[in-house]
């Protein structure tokens, strides 16, 4: 959109792609966003290999050509809307072992609307987003660390959203002081099976009050099925809020039969490290870095203490899922910080207890 119907500095228009290696060795996440009232376009790509996260970020001035989804070495080309995309990260001639890729992302299922997402702080609207999600498969090539990886039938998910979302630089002011954040609990899980696509999303306040809720099953040729009120039992790594596995309890709408979505974590990528999501301390979306800015770097994720802010941001986990005898792959995106009564977390320093 060239013009948006608000002067809010936080207006945004963004997409994100997840590419999941079914073996769990690689997790590639990339995205691109524009901020029309700030005059900024930026993009990022991260890939986790073992304990190393490789990141490429780019920023530039937004032009009137909104059909060009490219900034620096990063490009998203729409070959067929809602169906086929070419995702590209050009190689760095000064770093032949750095991240590069050219991957075709193709949809296997129609796009699915997610619930209208709003958040308020006191009387002020701080987030209003419209979003749809889609699942497919990926083929192409990925190069990193001197290795050329053949991408064949990896699971692909993507999210497209627009609206108003906080960009760094906003003052806290009286409303922030009068309405401090007590707790935040979030699950966003797009899952691709061979013949169906499942989307689960929920958000809860500190006391467990649910402000966002949906569980929808998509099968081509059939009406979408709503699978009730999702409830997640998460097993966390002791001393952390890092999920190791989970069971999401769902309900068949036809007869009320309970359904269980099993979740096995394969690889994890904190969005606050490399990908520019809050509370990242080296770069965040929408922040002006100057014309033609590109940054490439690696992060060591072996020591959680090296990235303490990651614990207070959302983490994307590549996962293997099971449902009614089927096996699929996708993303288990989770963030839990502050108080969350249903999980037994009492504050920002509260973590999962040691196992007996």
Mean pLDDT of 35-58: 97
Q: What is d(CA 247, CA 228) in angstroms, rounded to the nearest whole number?
A: 15
Give the model's pLDDT for residue 3: 85
pLDDT higher than 80, residue 9:
yes
pLDDT higher than 70, residue 171:
no
Mean pLDDT estimate for the chain: 95
pLDDT higher than 90, residue 23:
yes
Q: What is d(CA 257, CA 241) in angstroms, rounded to the nearest whole number?
A: 30
How do residues 281-321 score in pLDDT, each as one tens digit? 999 999 999 999 999 999 999 988 889 999 899 999 999 99
Cα dihedral: 217, 218, 219, 225 (round 10): 50
Cα dihedral: 145, 271, 135, 114 (round 10): -170
Give the model's pLDDT for residue 22: 96
Banded model confidence at residue 179, pLDDT cuts 50, 70, 90: confident
pLDDT higher than 70, residue 178:
yes
Mean pLDDT of 52-78: 96
Banded model confidence at residue 242, pLDDT cuts 50, 70, 90: very high
Domain ranges of the chain: 11-166+180-343
- 252: tokens are 């068949």
pLDDT higher than 90, residue 222:
yes
pLDDT higher than 70, residue 257:
yes
How do residues 181-214 score in pLDDT, each as one tens digit? 899 999 999 999 999 999 999 999 999 999 999 9
Query: Contact 334/187 with Cβ under 8 angstroms?
Result: yes
> 3-state SS of the chain?
CCCCCCCCCCEEEEEEEEEECCCCCEEEEEEEEEECCCCEEEEEEEEEECCEEEEEEEEEECCCCCCCCEECCEEEEEEECCCEEEEEECCECCECCCCEEEEEEEECCCCEECCCEEEEECCEEEEEEEEEEEEEEEEEEEEECCEEEEEEEEEEEEEEEEEECCCCCCCCHHHHHHCCCCEEEEEEEEEECCCCEEEEEEEECCCCCEEEEEEEEECCCCCCEECCCCEEEEEECCCCCCEEEEEEEEECCCCCCEEEEEEEEEEEEECCCCCCCCCCCCCCCCCCCCCCEEEEEEEECCCHHHCHHHHHCCEEEEEEEEECCEEEEEEEEEEEEECEHHHCECCCCCCCCCCC
CATH top-level class for 11-166+180-343? mainly beta
């Amino acid at each position: 959109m060239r013009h948006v119907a608000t002067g809010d500095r936080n207006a945004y228009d963004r997409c994100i792609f997840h590419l999941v290696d079914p073996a769990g060795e690689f997790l590639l996440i990339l995205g691109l966003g524009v901020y029309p009232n700030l005059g900024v376009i930026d993009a990022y790509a991260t890939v986790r290999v073992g304990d190393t996260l490789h990141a490429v970020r780019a920023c530039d001035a937004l032009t009137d050509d909104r059909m060009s989804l490219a900034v620096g070495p990063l490009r998203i080309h729409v070959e067929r809307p809602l169906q086929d995309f070419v995702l590209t990260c050009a190689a760095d001639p000064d770093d032949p072992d750095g991240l590069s890729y050219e991957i075709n992302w193709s949809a296997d299922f129609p796009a699915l609307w997610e619930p209208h997402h709003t958040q308020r702080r006191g009387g002020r609207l701080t987030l209003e987003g419209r979003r749809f999600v889609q699942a497919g498969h990926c083929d192409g090539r990925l190069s990193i660390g001197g290795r050329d990886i053949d991408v064949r039938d990896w699971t692909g998910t993507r999210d497209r959203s627009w609206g108003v979302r906080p960009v760094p630089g906003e003052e806290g002011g009286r409303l922030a002081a009068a309405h401090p954040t007590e707790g935040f609990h979030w699950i966003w899980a797009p899952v691709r099976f061979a013949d169906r696509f499942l989307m689960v999303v929920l958000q809860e306040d500190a006391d467990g009050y649910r402000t966002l809720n949906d569980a929808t099953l998509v099968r081509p040729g059939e009406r979408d099925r709503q699978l009730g009120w999702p409830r997640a039992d998460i097993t966390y790594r002791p001393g952390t809020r890092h999920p190791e596995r989970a069971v999401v309890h769902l309900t068949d709408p036809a007869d009320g039969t309970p359904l269980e979505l099993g979740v096995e974590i394969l690889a994890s990528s904190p969005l606050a490290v490399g990908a520019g999501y809050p509370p990242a301390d080296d770069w965040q979306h929408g922040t002006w870095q100057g014309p033609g800015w590109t940054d490439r770097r690696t992060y060591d994720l072996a020591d959680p203490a090296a990235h303490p802010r990651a614990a207070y941001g959302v983490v994307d986990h590549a996962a293997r899922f099971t449902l009614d005898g089927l096996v699929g792959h996708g993303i288990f995106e989770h963030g839990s910080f502050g108080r969350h009564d249903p999980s037994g977390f009492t504050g920002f320093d509260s973590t999962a207890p040691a196992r007996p």
